[in-house]
Chain A
Amino acid sequence: MSGLIFNLFIFVLASFVGFELISKVPPTLHTPLMSGANAISGITIIGALVIAGQVDQEFAQIIGFMAIVFATINVVGGFMVTDRMLEMFKKKDKNDE
């Protein structure tokens, strides 16, 4: 039970940090920020690795494999499109100057 309570503590505290991290984002950054945060939510890949890497249950391993594919699409695609968006953003800024 103490494990759950401990996990709840870090969940709630991390949520407060998340609430504080974002404030007054200029509209041009809305989509890149959403995209970058989305890529981070692909962190679930860590769970997928653990499920696919165990050998207790073959069917669970296959589910884990699918989870890795899904999560990796999210992570790799997510960080790459965010970078593309922000790269363009920067170029535009330079042209303005």
Chain B
Amino acid sequence: PNIIQLVYLLATGVFIMGIKRLGSPATARSGNQLAALGMFIGVIVTLFDQQIISYELIIAGIVVGSAIGAFAAKKVEMTAMPEMVAIFNGFGGGASALVAWGEFVRIGAPTMLAGQDLVTIGLSILIGSITFTGSFIAFGKLKGFISGNPVTFPGQNIFNALLTVGTLVLVGWLTYDPSSQLAFWLIFGIALLLGILTVMPIGGADMPVVISLLNSYSGLAASMAGFVINNNLLIISGALVGAAGLILTNIMCNAMNRSLGNVLFGAFGGNDSSESGPAA
């Protein structure tokens, strides 16, 4: 167990160096390879965790996931990269929500869980689910399956804000009454809906920024999942991606002379108006 923690420490160091190197053209490729190495180290050492007893599903899952991921990564056109990243990101966010759900189910009697665990399970499901559906909407908008124009209705921002507050209240309810299946499923359902509703009003031309923000969310979701299962490597790496992703999102907004708030709530930048540039 101590040796596992020490190797986790090594992996976090490798991740930090990897992200740092990814930010500069000369070192970017080696940075990505370093990060992949950190991931490999983290996965291998986790397999020695004493909680892990059965390996069949683990091997099957890794084989299936690697095959799908590698196939998609090989086949994708260079011009379709943002869409591809959006899909990968959606799966990552979805995985974090599933980890929290799995832990909730594993405990069996949720009343045995401490309040703090229920809060982090709720938050992990909330952020992970928003990332999941939001990323697929972003993909659909870039691919043209969904209109690239902002899809809006009156009072949309207020409605979304109310839903967000509502889900946070539900997380509080789940913490107060852990046996409430209703609270649990409402969090899950509304969060999935929120991902759709928050990305729909944003124009297709702004999707790269949205994907970057959703990437930051999926880091945060991973970090929350780390709180749920009490794992340092997950908490740290998730927080690193969450923070670095937010900075990158900001840099991308600045490059367009826009603010993040304007991108998220301004409801413009559809495919048609993309040539005309920012109006404000």
Contact = CB atoms under 8 A, between A and B. Distances in A.
B164 interface: no
The residue in B98, B116, B255 that gathers the most chain A C-beta atoms within 10 A of its C-beta is B98
A81 B73 contact: yes
B60 interface: yes
Chain A interface bracket (under 10, 10 to 19, 20 to 34, 35 or more): 35 or more
Interface stretch (B35-43, B183-191, B271-279): B35-43
A70 B94 contact: yes
Contact of A39 (B88, B98, B227, B229): B88
Given A11-B235, A15-B243, A31 B102 contact: no
Interface in A47-96: 47-57, 59-90, 93
Contacts, number: 366
B105 A70 contact: no
Chain A interface main SS type: helix
A14 B32 contact: no
B108 A57 contact: yes
- SS of B interface (majority): helix
B20 A21 contact: yes
Contact of B231 (A37, A50, A54, A93): A50
B58 A17 contact: no
Contacts of A19: 243-244, 246-247
B39 A43 contact: yes
B116 A52 contact: no
A17 B243 contact: yes
Given A64-B57, A65-B60, A93-B25, A15 B35 contact: no
Contacts of A68: 57-58, 61-62, 65, 95
Given A21-B23, A39-B88, A72-B66, A52 B61 contact: yes
Count class of interface residues, chain B: 35 or more
A79 B33 CA distance: 8
Contact of A67 (B36, B82, B95): B95
B212 A34 contact: yes
Nearest to B33: A83
A63 B91 contact: no
26 contacts: A14-B223, A14-B239, A15-B239, A23-B247, A25-B23, A28-B25, A34-B212, A38-B241, A40-B35, A41-B221, A41-B245, A42-B88, A42-B92, A43-B42, A43-B234, A46-B43, A46-B231, A47-B234, A49-B43, A49-B52, A54-B54, A60-B106, A63-B98, A69-B64, A75-B39, A77-B73
Interface of A: 1, 3-4, 7, 10-12, 14-19, 21-57, 59-90, 93
